[in-house]
Chain A
Amino acid sequence: MKTTYKINEEYLEKIISVAYGDASFIDEIKIYLDSKKNPEVKKILDEYRETAKELKFFSLEEYRGKIPVNKPEVNSWLLAYLNIFIRKPVLAAAMAFMITAAIAGYYIVDHNDNYLNGYSKAEIVTAERQARESFTIVASIMNETKQKIENNVFRNKINKPIKESLTIVNTYL
């Protein structure tokens, strides 16, 4: 039994939209699946697709005539430079950002080795040397003190009187 398939206007418009590539995703799937089951749908879709595909290769006709207004000659490099900033502000902004980032990055990387917690490398070296000198001074003072205690304090002030006292006690006993 032969079944007839009627394609109404609304459905035809969906097929055309799919063929030209501006249909919704759901319509695309639906038409694609229908075209697999229904040769009539496939035939219409293929016909429109062929036309749409051919249109994609249509390029604009090039105008080769004269431009009738007198204007001063401009250097092409200047025109190209301004062309970027007038026609493509997003491109100009991106370029400015990249240049700024490159300059900032250079300074950050270059000075990173020299700065630690807000102090420069030279300051840290100086502080280290001064600390070392201070420790040396303290160490020598402590040595002197030790010797003084051993030689002077213990020997003369403590040991000697104790020795004399013991001598006196021995004599009397």
Chain B
Amino acid sequence: MLDSLKFEILIKQYKNNIYSYALYMMKNRMDADDITQEVFIKIWNNINNFNIKAAKSWIMRTTHNLCIDYLRKRQTSQKKEVNIDSNINISGAGTLTDTEVRLRKNLLKDKIKHGIETLPDNLKSVFIMYELQGFKYNEISETLSMPLNSVKVYLMRARKKLQEDLKEYKNEDNL
């Protein structure tokens, strides 16, 4: 019973972290769902060996590794992925009460989201963990088995790449 309780607590705490990470890495909900469920199964199978303090890095490392495996399989099968989330979501679109400010904000948000999705995988992992999931440098270093300096370098590169992509969008908008 204690195992079940431990499992439930871990799932409740980390399910959104796992899913969000998988979604950004895989860029579609179906694969993100599959990966999330696989992580849950791995957690359950290892529930007796769990050290609660190290749970976070273990879970995210498992998620990251599964995402990399899926991406490699995808590359070898050369499927053309359809990004279900690529549609720009404009809140209140079509209503008469939308303001220009809200519209611009939503556009920027979607552009940033797309920019994150198009980052190279190694930069994307670090960026998502740091900026979106609130991991610290040493936690990312432990999770991705990466030196601390590499984490900082990758994060900086990701920020620059993202900003360059946003500039391109702005230039396209101005055309």
Contact = CB atoms under 8 A, between A and B. Distances in A.
Contact of A71 (B4, B12, B13): B4
A95 interface: no
Contacts of B133: 60
B163 interface: yes
A48 interface: yes
B166 A51 contact: yes
Interface stretch (A62-70, A133-141, A159-167): A62-70
24 contacts: A12-B160, A13-B156, A16-B159, A17-B156, A20-B159, A47-B166, A54-B109, A58-B109, A61-B20, A61-B32, A63-B16, A63-B19, A65-B19, A65-B36, A66-B37, A67-B15, A67-B37, A69-B7, A69-B44, A71-B7, A74-B1, A79-B9, A82-B9, A87-B13
Contacts, number: 88
A83 interface: yes
A55 interface: yes
B141 to A, nearest CB: 15
A65 B133 CA distance: 20
Given A20-B131, A60-B19, A65-B37, 13 more contacts: A12-B160, A47-B163, A50-B108, A55-B131, A60-B20, A62-B16, A63-B18, A67-B11, A67-B40, A69-B41, A79-B9, A83-B9, A87-B13
A86 interface: yes
Please tell me the size bucket of the interface on B.
35 or more
Main secondary structure of the interface of B (DSSP, over half): helix
Contacts of A87: 9, 13
A85 B94 CA distance: 49
A46 to B, nearest CB: 12
A142 B174 CA distance: 119
Interface of A: 12-13, 16-17, 20, 47-48, 50-51, 54-55, 57-58, 60-63, 65-69, 71-72, 74, 79, 82-83, 86-87
Nearest to B24: A61
A54 B16 contact: no
A85 to B, nearest CB: 10
A13 B132 CA distance: 20
A61 B57 CA distance: 19
A55 B105 CA distance: 12
Given A72-B4, A86-B9, A86-B52, A51 B163 contact: yes
B90 interface: no
B112 A55 contact: yes
B162 interface: yes
A68 B37 contact: yes
B126 interface: no
B41 A68 contact: yes
Report, nearest first, the 7 A-B pairs whose CB atoms are least far apart: A63-B19, A60-B16, A71-B4, A60-B20, A61-B20, A69-B44, A63-B15
Nearest to A12: B160
